[in-house]
Amino acid sequence: MDDLIEALTIFRRYSSARFPTACEHDEMYVCVDPAVVSDVDKARLAELSFCPCDAGSFKSYRFGSC
């Protein structure tokens, strides 16, 4: 749980969206444009299992599973 909270705290720096997440089968998306995220934060997000995706957001298979 701590890794997810840390990732969401990083994402909060880049978005104030009211509904910032979406889920599909085994995937959690966070609607933050990777182009605006610093390289340092991208590296930490990767360690926390979030990677940029083609949809202009980040996704995680780790936190998207149920």
- Give the number of other Cβ atoms within 10 Å of residue 52's Cβ: 17
> pLDDT digits over 6-51, tens only?
999 999 999 989 999 999 889 999 999 999 999 999 999 999 999 9
Task: Classify strands 27-30 and 57-60 as parallel, antiparallel or unpaired.
Answer: antiparallel
Instruction: Output the pTM of the full model.
Output: 0.91
Question: Would you tell me how many other CB atoms lie within 10 Å of the CB of residue 46?
Answer: 12
What number is the average pLDDT over the span 51-64?
92
Q: Is the pLDDT of residue 66 over 70?
A: no
| Terminal CA-CA length for the chain | 14
